[in-house]
Structure 1
Amino acid sequence: MGAKGFVEGGIASIVAGCSTHPLDLIKVRMQLQGESSAPAPLSNPNLRPAFAYNATGATVSIPQPIYQPPVVRSGPVSVGLKIYRSEGVAALFSGISATVLRQTLYSTTRMGLYEIFRTKWTDKTTGEFSLPRKITAGLLAGGIGAAVGNPADVAMVRMQADGRLPVAQRRNYKGVGDAIKTMVKQEGVTSLWRGSSLTVNRAMIVTASQLASYDQIKETILKNGVMSDGLGTHVTASFAAGFVASVASNPVDVIKTRVMNMKVVEGVEPPYKGAVDCAVKTVRAEGVMALYKGFIPTISRQGPFTVVLFVTLEQVRKLLKDF
């Protein structure tokens, strides 16, 4: 199996990542909704000064309440339409070069390692690859893959989020190479692994739930004779696996997106000190359900992504079975 598993997983992952990229971009934009980008509140220009008289009869002004514009939260369709109208159709593919690099590094690694673990840990007598071993294989493969692919992940999040910033504050990366080069120059090489603990945790959860669920559900369908080993089985098992992965990973994904996207300026305290600080501030300011922001586009993207991933993987396996 060796290198073959990496090649098969890499091809399937790149196809799935590129085909669902706009949904991933919408998810990132939704996860950043409600995040404070301007700490200083605005005064309402429509409020006129109010006056009163003090004990001596002199006129004094009454301080007016500070006006903070309400945060308008939009759904995935309206977010998508807003991006299209304000930034153009090409904006829906912002950061796709980073997606290709991310899938090449992260997903190729995790898919290949999972196949290696499957080969080593499958019982030679019964041919069984037990669920606990599947989950363990997914956790290990996902964690290692995420550590390898984190620089591309940071670049992808920033490129996808850039369009929501005021023009003067945009990073305007020309591509994933420029993004990585600029981050290293301005923020140091460690910035490429910003949020890496979150990326690793998320990847472990996603890979364990996604790959283990797919294998387990597919085996159950075939074992009980519900369907034969074909397209119907692959689509059913992969969509179910996508749903499980979405539910399990969304909270970590929200925090990861915010930590990776934060702007760090020398001499200025960053918005978040780390993952825990980001989680606490997010929950305090926006409530617990803020951790499930972007869930609809997450499942809308994770479902098709997982379906395309495994359907493509099964076809690639057939094409390469003699190699």
Structure 2
Amino acid sequence: MLHISGTNSQKTASLPQLSVLLNQVALLTLYDNLYKHIKTFLICFQKMSNVNWKPFVFGGLASVTAECGTFPIDLAKTRLQVQGQVGDIKYREIRYRGMLHALVRIGREEGLRALYSGIAPAMLRQASYGTIKIGTYQSFKRLLVERPEDETLLTNMICGVLSGVISSSIANPTDVLKIRMQAQGNVIQGSMMGNFINIYQQEGTRGLWKGVSLTAQRAAIVVGVELPVYDITKKHLILSGYMGDNVYTHFVSSFACGLAGALASNPVDVVRTRMMNQRGVALYQGTLDCILQTWRSEGFMALYKGFFPNWLRLGPWNIIFFLTYEQLKKINV
């Protein structure tokens, strides 16, 4: 009897070790999948000659800076977009009347730290997404057009769409975790890597790349609109002779591109947020189904839920980003 009891206790004691081992295996598998995607991208990108590394580094630094300054607005936008879903009991209630009410209520009920729920994956996302987005956009432009003076709106839009799709597809896992942490607040606990592992164990690789097609579509629209609008606005302001290549021109151009990006991307952003936030049994079967269900049950304007905070975020975000990016470009390294 004593021997049997000792064996059972040994088995019980080994369970935590088994759990740790399984977590390590899951982590290694996750790293391997991420490594394969990044390696594939780098192999393709190495074929591009005369790649300038500065837009990659400066784009990443400027993106992280802009994200830190506007993150609470992004969180309020996410909360506004997920509420009012008729088919989801958890998000059926309309808790927030607008952006300011959302910020105040979240801070009061969940604490000020809740306003930065998801900041870690958001920073990681910008470090990857922002770096690749700006770097590939500038590189694609030089592949199509040798001189910046010869750039057109069409060529820049093509470059923006391509860079948006590539960068967002690679950074999608960070986007999934960021949106879930923003929408669910204190419900999600633990480290960022622990949450990545948890999603991978429960939902597999598909869980980490859930909504990747929507993310790529949104990025194609946002980047395909914002960056070309900024470049063309800046170009014409300088050519007009009324404004030089200075901070005022950068401010006006970034404001214009933020407004254009918000108008173009908000419907896709609403659908993407709802698709990524659903867990277990899928409420929506796909992009079109989500659009139709949202339209039928909540009306067309539901696709523009969170537009004001979306614009308030994209506006300041782009202003901070481009002002920072333009200053970094002046550094001689």
Contact kept in structure 1, 2:295 and 2:303, CA below 8 Å: yes
State the one-letter code of the partner of 1:257: T
Structure 1: distance between partners of 2:130 and 2:103: 26
Q: Please list every run of 5 or more consecutive structure 2 residues that lacks an aligned counterpart in the other structure.
A: 1-50
Equivalent residue number for residue 310 of structure 1: 322
Contact kept in structure 1, 2:83 and 2:93, CA below 8 Å: no
> Could you tell me which of 173, 179, 193 is aligned with 1:151?
173
Structure 1: distance between partners of 2:237 and 2:119: 35
Q: Please list every run of 5 or more consecutive structure 1 residues that lacks an aligned counterpart in the other structure.
A: 41-68
Pairing 1:262–2:278 present = yes
Contact kept in structure 2, 1:98 and 1:156, CA below 8 Å: yes
State the one-letter code of the partner of 1:317: K
State the one-letter code of the partner of 2:97: S
State the one-letter code of the partner of 1:245: G
Structure 1: distance between partners of 2:64 and 2:94: 35
Task: Give the superposition deviation at 1:30.
Answer: 0.5
* Aligned pairs for 1:169-208 within 5 A: 170=187, 172-208=188-224
Contact kept in structure 1, 2:53 and 2:135, CA below 8 Å: yes
Structure 2: distance between partners of 1:70 and 1:318: 50
Pairing 1:10–2:33 present = no
> Could you tell me which of 67, 71, 92 is aligned with 1:21?
71
Deviates more, 1:15-24 or 1:245-254: 15-24
* Aligned pairs for 1:262-281 within 5 A: 262-264=278-280, 269-281=281-293
Corresponding residue SS for 2:285: coil
Deviations, residues 247-289 of structure 1 (Å, cap 9, x unaligned): 000000000000000011xxxx421112211111111110010
Contact kept in structure 1, 2:84 and 2:93, CA below 8 Å: no
Equivalent residue number for residue 18 of structure 2: none
Contact kept in structure 2, 1:217 and 1:237, CA below 8 Å: yes
Pairing 1:209–2:225 present = yes
RMSD over equivalenced CA pairs, Å: 1.7
Task: Give the superposition deviation at 1:173.
Answer: 3.3
* Aligned pairs for 1:78-97 within 5 A: 78-97=101-120
- Aligned residue pairs total 282
Please identify which structure carries the higher helix content.
2
* TM-score, with structure 2 as normaliser: 0.81
State the one-letter code of the partner of 2:173: P
* Aligned pairs for 1:25-40 within 5 A: 25-36=75-86, 38-39=88-89
Equivalent residue number for residue 136 of structure 1: 158
Equivalent residue number for residue 243 of structure 1: 259
State the one-letter code of the partner of 2:156: K
Equivalent residue number for residue 32 of structure 2: none
- Percent identity between matched residues is 39
State the one-letter code of the partner of 1:294: G
Equivalent residue number for residue 66 of structure 1: none
Contact kept in structure 2, 1:34 and 1:73, CA below 8 Å: no
* TM-score, with structure 1 as normaliser: 0.84
Corresponding residue SS for 1:133: helix
Structure 1: distance between partners of 2:151 and 2:294: 40
Equivalent residue number for residue 46 of structure 1: none
Give the 4+ runs in structure 1 shifted more than 6 A: none
**Distance change (3 Å), C-alpha of 1:14 and 1:84:** same
Task: Give the superposition deviation at 1:176.
Answer: 2.6
Equivalent residue number for residue 41 of structure 2: none
**Distance change (3 Å), C-alpha of 1:71 and 1:7:** closer
Structure 2: distance between partners of 1:82 and 1:283: 27
State the one-letter code of the partner of 1:136: I
Pairing 1:118–2:141 present = yes
State the one-letter code of the partner of 1:105: S
